[in-house]
Amino acid sequence: MKIVVTGSIAFDYLMSFPGRFTEHFLPEHLNRISLSFLVDSMDKRRGGCGPNIAYTLALLGERPMLMGTAGEDFGDYRAWLESAGVDTSLVKQVAGKFTASFFCNTDQHNNQIASFYTGAMANAGELSFREVKDCGLAIISPNDPEAMLQYAAECRTLGIRAIFDPGQQCARMSPDQLKEGIVGSRIVVANDYEFEIIRQKTGLTEDAVLADSEALVITRGEKGSSVLTNTGRIDVEAVTPRRIVDPTGVGDAFRAGFMKGLASGHDYATSAQMGSVAAAYVLEHLGGQSHAYSWDEFKGRYEAHFGPLKPVAQTA
């Protein structure tokens, strides 16, 4: 099955603060915040939602097509992704711009404060699903908001089974934009905090989303995830990590594992369980593309936690 992954392509600048952010916010001065956090470390990593998802899909044996826009500085990143098994033929490099950049500061309690520079991501609307042949599964992850809406509309028109994942763009998108992207998408994915933003901005409830979608997937960090359909709700527990290093990219890995399950013909429960295993690997490493494993290693960890991963019967 051809899988297309859309989303931001970025460099991540990951910093670590040796304290707790909330201890430095003064309730009586929240109307004029001026804070600077002295960090212990900083790493520059390859990142962006699109490549993070595509990289984990490649680890799981797929050959995903990454569709997005990057800057003139993308050359080495492109070569690295190709070597990892990601097809970058749909990535357009934009002359005169830098690749988008994500600046993220994480405290000792895994709270994060982040900023995002769009750069070449602003040109994402120049790409189109109409140029992709035989796409069987796609994800529309955080990207330029207008491009996300364009992709969602194209997938609906072309009959492509697409996952709409507004992610961090929930804060940026207007209520009308969120509704436009969500309503009618085959599958909607958000974490519990993001879905509460969606609910408050749009008034959409879980039932309202399911009125026009196959499924709504809500991730809840260490509390696992829930898959809601018109026939019921499936709760899937998180996989306990062997160590906790950095939460950056954990949600992207869950989505990749979930998509691998769907692409392989598994049901929603098994797909969400695969997402939980994929997420645990990323939590144990710095950044969204530092982890590595074989399919046998992944399967072994899945089965140690959830039991046998049953093969899917192939239809004639």
Q: Is 235 a catalytic residue?
A: no
Please identify which of the residues 76, 165, 252, 267 carries the catalytic annotation.
252
Q: In what order do the strands lie in the sheet with 225-229?
A: 87-93, 65-70, 2-6, 135-140, 162-164, 187-191, 215-219, 225-229, 232-236
CA neighbor of 10 nearest in space, from 248, 275, 170 = 248
Q: For residues 47 and 121, is the Cβ–Cβ distance under 8 A?
A: no
Identity of the residue numbered 218: I
296 Cβ contact list (under 8 Å, min separation 6): none
Computed from CA positions of residues 247, 198, 228, 210, in that sequence, does the dihedral angle turn out positive or negative?
A: negative
91 Cβ contact list (under 8 Å, min separation 6): 9, 66, 67, 68, 69, 70, 74, 78
Q: What distances in angstroms separate CA 85 from CA 61, 78, 162, 264, one per listed residue?
A: 9, 11, 22, 18
Q: What distances in angstroms separate CA 69 from CA 24, 48, 76, 126, 251, one per listed residue?
A: 37, 11, 15, 9, 21
Name the token pair of 269: 């429960």
Name the token pair of 259: 């998509």
* Alpha carbon distance 280, 282 (integer Å): 5
Taking the mean position of all CA atoms in its chain, how far away is CA 231? 26
* Alpha carbon distance 9, 143 (integer Å): 8
CA neighbor of 26 nearest in space, from 36, 34, 17 = 34
Tell me the catalytic residues.
252
